[in-house]
Amino acid sequence: MFRIFRKALALFVSGLFVSLLAPMSIPAQPALRFSTAAIDANRAITRLEFGSARKTLTRIQKDDPDNRVVDFLQYEMDFLQCILTEEAVVLDRFQRQAQGRIDRIGNVPESEVWRGTCLGEMYMMRGILAYKRQAYLQAASDIRRGYQATLEGLKRFPRFLPGRRDAAVLRILMGTVPDRYQWALEWISGIDGNIVLGMEELQDIRLTLENQGHFLATETGFLEAILRHYVLGHPDEALDLGASIFNREPGHPFLLFLMATLQQENGNNDVTIRLLSRRMHDPRQEAFPYLDYLSGKAYLYTLNMTAAEQAVEKFLASWKGTSLRADALQKMAWCALLQGYSADYSRIMGQVATLNRGQLDQDRQAYQDAIDGVIPHIDLLRARLLFDGGYLDRTARTLAGINVETFLQETDRIEYDYRRGRVAQEQSQFEEAMTYFTRCWEAGRAFSIHYACASALQAGNLCLEQHRGPEARMWYNRCLDLNPDRYRDGLHQKAKAGLLQVKP
């Protein structure tokens, strides 16, 4: 009996000893690795090939279960789907899953180089969506957190190019914040806003990424082209950069959007029509309704009402969101008015008046026009559309054919001077342009409409091009002194950017 007990005790002790010697099962630490598969998934996401991206992410989860890059890429894909659809069910799903994914990225060790960059971008994306649904406190909080995460990552890895890129973009955007939002900058501190320095940094980073063949090179070029156009006001530079990256990936939907937009805003509307009419449907890609909206604008600028109406109607039928809806309806109303159907114009603008004011400048203007109930002067409207399409000769002929004595409102005369100034500006007639801009500013500054403010901005741009620094500064400040009821933030943002380019 005693021998049996001793044998059992020996077996127990030996088993315990062996178990202590055996490798302990320690949970693997989470990591953030942009493997080849992760890069493929990222490329599919940015090309809106969500089905392909989901398959790749499922494979990464199986083969590399501790890699939290899946959380980041799923988050990015859901964010883009929110932007593309604005559907409530998609937005709700994003909100439910966002914090869990952010927490999983936050649990990655700080020694992981991608941690700060991914966290920063995730907070920023959630902040953008919060702003779109007018949850301004959450938006400000998330943007602040994203800002801090970006800075913390940059402090730990100061040479990490993706982190430096995000910091450069933030530096540019901070430099354009209107004065009435400066309180937000005081709350979100850490990077000094500087448009010129930020753009120089972004260009250097983009060139380095291109030389390295980095997977973020195209995305960085897209950001730089947008910022060069809309912030610096250098459309030729933006178009050249956009063309160079578009030619490398002609089937990329966001690059098509970029090129079509830049060509249109550079006065090459016919090129925009050609690009959009030749686009091929790719069943692998998610729908991108904004391209139909862009087509509608392009045809409207040629005064092809039938084609414009068809494209805008297609956009409205497929677009479930609220952004650009008021603007698109106003364009339908313009088509009716220009064809002589004033009753249809009033009916459609009545629909616009029932919508929310919106957050985009285009929607706000459409809504305000609907509330004001003012029917635009048909020839001024025609001139505006032709000018926006870059058809300068047709615009000039239209304006020359207007008898200003027929204007029933003082604001029509103010708009007329502004449009004459813009045509002269584009035709490099400096003195004539300055004459009209000055007249518009003097007559329009007492009104709430934006033409006087816009004239001051364009006068500043003209003086800057002519290397007349003191005059440019004077006109930019005149722009900032006015607070029109439409386009105020955009005009002030561009005036601030112009002031930073005036040499002392």
pLDDT in tens, 408-466: 899 999 999 999 999 999 999 999 999 999 999 999 999 999 999 999 999 999 999 99
> What is the token pair recorded at 426?
């584009």
Based on its alpha-carbon atoms, the radius of gyration of the chain, rounded to whole angstroms, reads 28
Q: What is the mean pLDDT of residues 137-166?
A: 93
Q: Which CATH number fits domain 404-504: 1.25.40.10, 3.40.50.970, 3.40.30.10, 3.40.50.720?
A: 1.25.40.10
Q: What is the average pLDDT score of the chain?
A: 90
Q: Give 282's contacts (C-beta < 8 A, 6+ positions apart).
A: 251
- Average pLDDT, stretch 27-46? 92
Residue-level pLDDT at 192? 64
Q: CA 304, CA 389: separation in Å to the nearest integer?
A: 12
Torsion on CA atoms 364, 453, 332, 344, rounded to nearest 10: 90
Alpha helices in 445-487 (DSSP H): 451-465, 469-481
Helix, strand, coil percentages for the chain (3-state, nearest 5): 75, 0, 25
Question: Which residue type occupies 78?
Answer: D
Q: What's the Cα-to-Cα distance from 378 to each of 129, 191, 298, 299, 342, rounded to whole Å?
A: 38, 48, 19, 17, 11
Round to whole Å and give the CA distance between 364 and 477.
24
Q: What is the mean pLDDT of residues 274-283?
A: 90
Name 67's bridge partners: 31
Top-confidence range, 28-37, 173-182, 304-313: 304-313
Task: Report d(CA 345, CA 373) in Å as an integer.
Answer: 11
Return d(Cα 283, Cα 141) in angstroms, integer. 38
Token digits of residue 308: 């414009």
What would the pLDDT profile of 323-371 be if each residue is shown by its tens digit? Answer: 999 999 999 999 999 999 999 999 999 999 999 878 788 898 999 999 9
Q: What would the pLDDT profile of 87-98 be if each residue is shown by its tens digit?
A: 989 999 999 999
Q: Give the integer Cα–Cα distance in Å for 27 and 232.
A: 50
Q: Which of 357, 354, 352 is nearest to 334 (CA)?
A: 352
CA distance 294 to 483: 29
> What does the alpha-carbon distance between residue 172 and residue 166 come to, in Å, rounded to a whole number?
10
Give me the numbers of helices (H) and strands (E) for the chain, helices first please: 26, 0
Contacts of 341 (CB under 8 A, 6+ apart): none
CA 168 to chain centre: 16
Tokens of 165: 């890129």
What end-to-end distance do the CA atoms of the chain give, in Å? 103
Question: pTM for the complete prediction?
Answer: 0.87
Q: Where are the domains of the chain?
A: 30-158, 404-504
Q: What angle do CA 284, 290, 295 make, to 5 degrees?
A: 105
Phi, psi for 67 (deg, rounded to 5): -85, 110
Residue linked to tokens 């005064």: 303
- Whether pLDDT at 191 is above 70: no
**CA-CA distances (angstroms) from residue 136 to 412, 470, 483?**
37, 38, 22
Q: Which residues of 344-378 are buried (b: 16+ CB within 10 A; e: fewer)?
A: ebeebbeebeeeeebebbbbbbbbbbbeeeeebbe
Confidence (pLDDT) at 184? 59
